[in-house]
């Protein structure tokens, strides 16, 4: 089975981002595949290279990076949501005349079209987090 995961929550906003990460590991361990992980709304904070949790807490963004590297996952961050929340790659930092960028390695900024395409290519789209 091919999955796409959509993460709406920041890494420490709720348990959603961590649950999505554990689900992704379980899916891959069961022999399924993940077409794409799409980070949307506050979920874009999972892609920030500046997240620095205390040493006794898990580093969810780093764990996403590690999982993506181990399994060659496509980790897409909604560009509109990211820019609005200050998560920028080098090109967007230059475009908005910012001195620095903070998109972590392994993540890519792109549009909602990537989410639509992922839904068409996947058997299941699973969403974690969201508005209350």
Tokens found for residue 74:
């496509």
Which entry of 67, 78, 82, 104 is annotated as an active-site residue? 78
How deeply is 132 buried, as exposed, middle or buried, from its count of CB atoms within 10 A (0-12, 13-18, 19+)?
exposed
CA-nearest of 23, 24, 26, 50 to 104 is 50
Q: Is 78 a catalytic residue?
A: yes
Residues noted as catalytic: 78
């Amino acid at each position: 089975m091919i999955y796409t995961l959509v993460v709406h929550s920041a890494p420490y906003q709720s348990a959603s981002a961590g649950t999505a990460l554990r689900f992704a590991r379980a899916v891959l361990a069961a022999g399924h595949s993940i077409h794409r992980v799409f980070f949307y709304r506050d979920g874009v904070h999972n892609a920030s290279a500046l997240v620095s949790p205390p040493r006794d807490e898990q580093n969810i963004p780093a764990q996403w990076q590690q999982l993506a590297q181990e399994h060659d996952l496509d980790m897409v961050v909604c560009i509109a949501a990211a820019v609005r929340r200050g998560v920028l790659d080098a090109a967007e930092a230059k475009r908005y005349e910012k001195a620095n960028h903070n998109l972590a390695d392994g993540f890519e900024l792109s549009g909602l079209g990537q989410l639509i395409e992922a839904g068409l290519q996947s058997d299941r789209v699973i969403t974690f987090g969201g508005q209350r």
